[in-house]
Structure 1
């Protein structure tokens, strides 16, 4: 490019347009040689040849100078263009760098904003969680305070209720004691009246009894000698003759207390004795076998008479006969007898019986009551009659008596403990003490208590309403009459559901047998039990009392017993 510019300049200055180039050219493009005064052509032509040569050389020098000048201008322009391009490149690179930096800064700012946003959100979340935990803690503390306050209030209410209950119990006990004292005084004053009426009833009772004696002997109780009544009211039931004196209310309580004391003595013997044998005592095998055999055989008793015979034979052989054979360990039997006078003895050895025999009677009694309770819950009332037959036969067996005295008191003590209603014992079912007096246990409910009373009444009837050929019954028949009469003559204010349940058990399956023993007198008792007693039931137990009224219709329908 400089060469071309130089050639161009040379040609321009050698052409005829030199004057226009001078006037039109840019000052910066004008060569300094152009400013030199050149001689006019005409002058040159007039000069000498040497002078002309000098002028030619001068012109050549000017041309070379001008070409060199333009070459330098072109070179400078090229360098400037190059510098300009370099500066543009640097500016572009700087622009790109600035853009990159700006983008990075923008990204950094965006990232920073995002991080700050996330940090704010995380802080907000942490604050919310902290506030939630604080709120939950405060609510839990408030709930705990409310719960503690409620517990304190409930405890205070329970304590107040307990104090009120204790006060009520104290008041009830005081009231019951007062009522008992009043009743004792009233009955004490009435006892003489009872005795007088008893003597007046002897003649009529003897006549009726003699009429019953005309029937076969197995269906008749023994001849009476004395008659008593339960209460001195005009509607009270006269008790059929008995060889024993019938005590008043105070006497009943005294006898009941004696039997409860006997029950405690039974427990005092049975508990340590059983524990001793279980821990390796010499009679461990025998006691275990007796307990297993009695439980097994009582469970095998059914309405089939052959099954009952097989059961009683097995119990006698495997239990009571084996107990009689262990005479190496004995005990004085006299503390376990209440209802019979102790005969005179030559020495204390005559009062000894095998410990295993006493154990057998106690465990037999316990399992007997339990089996009766089990049968009544399953609705097998007729099976209870067979269980009672087996028990009565065993108690009446002379082999297992002591000097002719049967071990009846052991069974009676258990009955006094579980069913005091049978023996004229009164109580208030609205107090714990009154419930206990009427046979209520800690694990009883209303339903289980009623079922238990029915079963115990049925079992007592099966035990006492018996007569065996050639031997006296262990429990006199008069005990059955006394049980029925004591309930029928109970004042209305002392009647509870248990009385009606016990009476149902006593009568439901035994009306025909009761009539067979006592005839017209028994018919009057049945009518009083199924008509009069339900009619005077307290208001709260009218529905329960109706179960006795139903018996009257059932007997008429199923057994042809008409009480009208």
Structure 2
């Protein structure tokens, strides 16, 4: 194949044309760059020219401002000079006036001082004259009064002597009447209590329990008033109270404590929870007497939860109410109530520094059945009935029928025995109701002269002894047998009259022989 060469083309007119065109384009580019530089130079020159004009204008403007400021400064300095001169003149004028005023005041003060000195001298002269005149008058009056006083003293001495003699006679008469009235009131009070054969110590102790009962009533009202202020507290305390009432009402007869364990645990839990309610009370007021170590506690150490004590009182009230309503029909029902009371009151956590709150229980019992402690009177009189604990249908109202009274005494007597004849020999806990309470009350009842014993006494003895023979013999041995014989055989035989209550007590002799193999 043939080959074509381009060397000839480069030397051709076309190449020349391309070279010319490239050269022209280069010239155009250079010309364009020159124009660009010229344009930039012109812009720079124009900007410099404008900057120069601005500089000159600013120089002229700043010069004018400086000139104005200089003019203002001159005017200000002139004004300040004029002001200072004016102030100086004003100050000089003020000082001149003050000096004139000072001199004027000094002159007035001098004149006033001289006037006061003249008046003071005149006043002293007049006072001295008046003093001398008054002194002469006083001396004259003194002499006159001394004479009158001496006369009055003589008359008063005679009257005072007569008055004292009358007062001594009147005082002697008043003392005689007051002593007679006090003796009559004390006699009436002891008669209303049925305390004719009781010692002063017995009466004082009984009165302390009655006062404690009033204190517990005040506590109940205090808790109720606090509940009115706090709805949550009212609901909580109300639930606790209703649960205790329910648990006591659910107690039933059974072997040991197992039959009522659930109810006892509920009551324990409620009393524990009540201690968390922050309403304080002085625990010492809920005892009729305390050991010196507890009586002398500080107020802080003696503080106890008020709701806890309130619920203990509610428990007591409900137990007593159950004894009256249930144990009066079946005396055996008193046994579970006695067990629960002994358990709750003996717990260390329910004690006041180791001291059981048993006085709360006894305060209620003494109100409803004072005959247990030897207070009595004739059942044929209103005072006698009141002294024995014969209840009324309402405060100040008539007495309840005899049948209801017998039922009350039956329940309360059985309950007293169930509480006081508990055996704590197998436990380390302290017995809150020691057995000597039973012996002491039996002694007080059996110490009443047979002709003064009332049916209430025989009803109490019958209910106290009906299911207690084995425990009495266990605790007291031969002395217990002697006590049973005295109460069931000898005392009823010494009474000349006859009644259902006495016959009920006598029947126990045969029941003991057939049921317990105890021969009296």
The alignment's TM-score, normalised by the length of structure 1, stands at 0.55
2:57 — aligned with what?
A: none
2:286 — aligned with what?
A: 336
Aligned-pair distance for 1:397? 0.7
Aligned-pair distance for 1:441? 1.5
Q: 1:456 to 1:184 in 2, by over 3 A?
A: closer
Unaligned runs of at least 5 residues, structure 1:
1-172, 188-247
SS in 2 for 1:414: helix
Aligned-pair distance for 1:430? 2.6
1:455 — aligned with what?
A: 411
Q: 1:289 to 1:486 in 2, by over 3 A?
A: same
Aligned-pair distance for 1:314? 1.4
Distance 1:176 1:434 in 2: 14
1:504 — aligned with what?
A: 462
Pairs within 5 Å for 1:10-89: none
1:446 — aligned with what?
A: 402
Distance 1:537 1:527 in 2: 15
1:307 — aligned with what?
A: 259
Pairs within 5 Å for 1:172-187: none
2:181 — aligned with what?
A: none
Report the more deviating stretch, 425-434 or 554-563.
Answer: 425-434
User: Is the contact between residue 418 and residue 439 of structure 1 (CA under 8 Å) also seen in structure 2?
Assistant: yes
Pairs within 5 Å for 1:192-341: 249-277=199-227, 280-305=230-255, 306-317=258-269, 319-326=270-277, 328-341=278-291
SS in 2 for 1:467: coil
User: Is the contact between residue 253 and residue 425 of structure 1 (CA under 8 Å) also seen in structure 2?
Assistant: no
Q: 1:340 to 1:462 in 2, by over 3 A?
A: farther
SS in 2 for 1:440: coil
User: Is the contact between residue 300 and residue 307 of structure 1 (CA under 8 Å) also seen in structure 2?
Assistant: no
Distance 1:273 1:418 in 2: 23
* Pair 1:465-2:413 in alignment: no
Aligned-pair distance for 1:323? 1.1
* Pair 1:348-2:305 in alignment: no
Distance 1:504 1:276 in 2: 44
Q: 1:281 to 1:334 in 2, by over 3 A?
A: farther
SS in 2 for 1:283: helix
2:312 — aligned with what?
A: 361
Q: 1:513 to 1:339 in 2, by over 3 A?
A: farther
Distance 2:490 2:228 in 1: 53
1:216 — aligned with what?
A: none
Aligned-pair RMSD on alpha carbons? 2.6
Aligned-pair distance for 1:428? 2.9
Q: 1:313 to 1:431 in 2, by over 3 A?
A: same
Equivalences, count: 326
1:405 — aligned with what?
A: 355
SS in 1 for 2:355: coil
Distance 2:417 2:314 in 1: 21
User: Is the contact between residue 195 and residue 376 of structure 2 (CA under 8 Å) also seen in structure 1?
Assistant: no
Pairs within 5 Å for 1:375-394: 375-377=326-328, 379-394=329-344
Aligned-pair distance for 1:458? 0.8
1:475 — aligned with what?
A: 433
Aligned-pair distance for 1:472? 1.7
Distance 1:361 1:501 in 2: 29
Aligned-pair distance for 1:492? 2.4
Q: 1:557 to 1:447 in 2, by over 3 A?
A: same
Detail structure 1 runs of 4+ shifted over 6 Å in the superposition: 173-176, 178-181
Q: 1:346 to 1:184 in 2, by over 3 A?
A: closer
Aligned-pair distance for 1:537? 2.8
Unaligned runs of at least 5 residues, structure 2:
1-183, 394-399
SS in 2 for 1:501: helix
User: Is the contact between residue 270 and residue 359 of structure 1 (CA under 8 Å) also seen in structure 2?
Assistant: yes
Aligned-pair distance for 1:494? 2.6
The alignment's TM-score, normalised by the length of structure 2, stands at 0.59
User: Is the contact between residue 416 and residue 464 of structure 2 (CA under 8 Å) also seen in structure 1?
Assistant: yes
Aligned-pair distance for 1:372? 1.0
The CA deviation string for residues 50-77 of structure 1, in whole angstroms up to 9 with x for no partner, is xxxxxxxxxxxxxxxxxxxxxxxxxxxx
* Pair 1:536-2:494 in alignment: yes
Distance 1:474 1:175 in 2: 33
Distance 1:298 1:179 in 2: 36
Give the number of the structure whose alpha-carbon radius of gyration is greater.
Answer: 1
Q: 1:425 to 1:348 in 2, by over 3 A?
A: same
User: Is the contact between residue 424 and residue 483 of structure 1 (CA under 8 Å) also seen in structure 2?
Assistant: yes
SS in 2 for 1:348: coil
Distance 1:320 1:434 in 2: 39
The CA deviation string for residues 7-49 of structure 1, in whole angstroms up to 9 with x for no partner, is xxxxxxxxxxxxxxxxxxxxxxxxxxxxxxxxxxxxxxxxxxx
Aligned-pair distance for 1:286? 2.2
Aligned-pair distance for 1:276? 3.8
Distance 1:339 1:553 in 2: 42
Aligned-pair distance for 1:495? 1.2
Aligned-pair distance for 1:500? 0.8
2:383 — aligned with what?
A: 433
Specify which of 369, 373, 385 is matched with residue 324 of structure 2: 373
User: Is the contact between residue 258 and residue 338 of structure 1 (CA under 8 Å) also seen in structure 2?
Assistant: yes
Report the more deviating stretch, 305-314 or 468-477.
Answer: 305-314
User: Is the contact between residue 342 and residue 432 of structure 2 (CA under 8 Å) also seen in structure 1?
Assistant: yes
Distance 2:268 2:442 in 1: 31
Distance 1:390 1:184 in 2: 32
Distance 1:463 1:405 in 2: 17
User: Is the contact between residue 461 and residue 510 of structure 1 (CA under 8 Å) also seen in structure 2?
Assistant: yes
The CA deviation string for residues 514-539 of structure 1, in whole angstroms up to 9 with x for no partner, is 11100100000100111112112352
